[in-house]
Amino acid sequence: MTDNRVIGEFLSAVEPTEAEKSKLAVYFESKLGCPVDFVWVEDASLKKGFILRLGGEVYDNTPEGLVRGLKAKIDEIDKSSDDYVSLIRESVENWRPRVLPEEVGIVRSVADGIARVTGLHGVKYGEILTFECGAKGLALDLDEDETGCVLFDDEDVVAGENVYRTGKTAGVPVSEEIIGRVVSALGEPVDGLGAFAADKYMPVESPAPAIIDRSPVNEPLKTGILTIDSMFPIGKGQRELIIGDRQTGKTSVAVDAILNQKGKNVLCVYCAIGQKASTVKRLVSVLRESGALGYTVVVFSSAADSASLQYVAPFSACAIAEYFMNAGRDVLVVYDDLSKHAVAYRALSLLLGRSPGREAYPGDIFYLHSRLLERSAHLSEERGGGSMTALPIVETLGGDISAYIPTNVISITDGQLFLESELFLSGQRPAVNVGLSVSRVGGSAQTKAMKRAVGALRLELAQYREMKTFAQFSGDLDDTVKEQFAFGRALTEILVQPLRRPYEEWEEVVILTASLKKVTVGLDPKEIRPFFDGFLKDFRIRHTAVVANIENGKTLSDEDEAIIVAEAKKLLAEKNV
């Protein structure tokens, strides 16, 4: 007959009596269903209490272990209630020496921000682990014998120290007070304005809303950028990729979209991933000076931060946006940029020993970005009707949109704005390539006035591009071609928009209507923008009814259109006199 006796370790400074050993053996025999014996191991560091090691579990009955157990209970209660006092009173009144089950691991090795931990057999993917020195980490690699833990701060972690499970996934503290603040990837304030009171702990990883919980994307999110609002409209709940080489104005497009949300009851979350602190500081100054910081949260993970913090940053920004979306608010979140995010995750994966795939990225890099961007949605009325609109940014090299990360994110999003270096250097800003850009939501996210005003703008621009190429190889052009060429050049010029100058919707409609009726064809390209600057100021004062119709979402009537064209021609005639 085989004896299935289990041998456990009893760690304490003083050897237990035989009676104490026997009492413990009887308790665990009834729990495990097999005989148990304990071997005493002297540990002078345990001044009070004791620790039991039995199988893969640790039972910590030291004062420190009891305090951790109380803290875990406090973390589990509803933070919005005043239940702390009653919990502490109950714990004190009912206190008695007892064993608390707790799984404790040991750090086997630490290198390059990765800790290899053994002994945590029940740990879950994405769970936060705490180290004896106070550092925290994220469990990202679960092997049969050990756990790969990504450290947020590895300065004090050493091999041999204990690691404790928390049972919680990574999350960020959120409340209304976070609006207008600059926080780290873990939700900690970094703007020097002190802490803020949080009323909820939002997990950075959460399931995307189900199809039944979503509504169609049919409400426009106005960016104030004429090129985008007219030809590539963005709807609330949409995911529109901004893609292009470095120094082509990708961040400027996103920031202008944030500036345009002033007074529109849309909250914004800007996530800076792997950027220089000086760059983010300038951006925060622009937001503050423009009055946009009052409805914006900036999540910042600098280039000097560890790869683990850069990896968590966009998920934290998404969690903050979800908090407000679930409360029925409209939110715009900008991820700047996911190329750096992918590089950070690639570094972590290679350090964790995962097999590299295409361009050395791990095989799950597509799933990484898809589970982030799929959380953007326009919720149904039953779920509160809130929305989260995502503007992810991806950097290309030499305009190659067929690279691994660009093609991944293009396939996840609902359209892309391709910014071209050649257009940027030629002065066409924003440098949106009309041929390679697309919005899969289309006219569903446009007002009636904008739909009518935009007309055949894309077709006219496409014809102009072809004509421009043809004109390079032909010396003689007939009058019809010359007129069409001048018309296309005038249309191109109206799409050039100054930085930090988003248009109101009525301004966009008026500019498009006048331009597509060929009012500005005779003007020199350099005179077109100054002409419209004066025209818009005068039009707003003299025709408030037309402006109100457009702003209220009404369609552009024939009478309104005739007024716009007549006023533009009148001003043009006055200038020519």
SS (H, E, C) 77-98: CCCCCCCHHHHHHHHHHCCCCC
445: amino acid identity, one letter: A
CB 231 within 8 A of CB 264: no
Q: What are phi and psi of 394, to 5 degrees?
A: -130, 135
Candidates 141, 136, 54, 131; CA nearest to 100 is 54
3-class secondary-structure state, position 503:
coil
3-class secondary-structure state, position 448:
helix
Which is it for strands 127-131 and 162-169: parallel, antiparallel or unpaired?
antiparallel
337 prior amide bond cis, ω within 30: yes
Cα distance from N-terminal residue to C-terminal residue, the chain: 115
**Which residues, other chains included, contact 296 with Cβ-Cβ below 8 Å and sequence gap of 6+?**
179, 180, 258, 267, 268, 269, 270, 287
Q: How far is CA 326 from CA 97, 110, 216, 383, in A?
A: 44, 39, 17, 7
Assign residue 297 a region (left: φ > 0; alpha: ψ between -120 and 50; beta: otherwise).
beta
Q: How far apart are CA 560 and CA 555, in angstroms?
A: 9
Token readout for 156 is: 């004090």
Token readout for 525 is: 């390209």
Name the catalytic one among 68, 108, 371, 440.
Answer: 440
CB 170 within 8 A of CB 313: no
Q: What are phi and psi of 513, to 5 degrees?
A: -60, -50
Residue 89: the pLDDT is: 59
**Which residues, other chains included, contact 411 with Cβ-Cβ below 8 Å and sequence gap of 6+?**
none
Token readout for 241 is: 């990729």
3-class secondary-structure state, position 48:
coil
SS (H, E, C) 288-303: HHCCCHHHEEEEEEEC
Concatenated DSSP letters of 121-133: TT--TTEEEEETT
Rounded mean pLDDT for each run of 10 residues along the chain, 577 residues in total:
69 79 79 78 75 75 72 57 57 50 81 91 89 89 91 85 86 94 94 90 92 93 94 95 95 96 95 94 95 96 92 96 96 96 95 91 94 96 96 94 94 95 91 91 87 88 79 67 83 91 93 91 86 91 91 88 92 74
Q: Which residue's entry shows tokens 């390209």?
A: 525
Q: How far apart are CA 271 and CA 274, in angstroms?
A: 10
Q: What is the radius of gyration, based on Cα positions, of the chain?
A: 31
530 prior amide bond cis, ω within 30: no
The three-point CA angle 536-240-346 to 5° equals 140
Token readout for 398 is: 């030499």
Q: How far apart are CA 254 and CA 237, in angstroms?
A: 16
Letter string b/e over residues 359-378, b meaning 16 or more CB atoms within 10 A of that residue's CB: eebbeebbebbbbbbebbbb
DSSP state of 456: T
H or E segment and range at residue 309: helix 307-326
Residue 42: the pLDDT is: 79
- 440 as an active site residue: the answer is yes
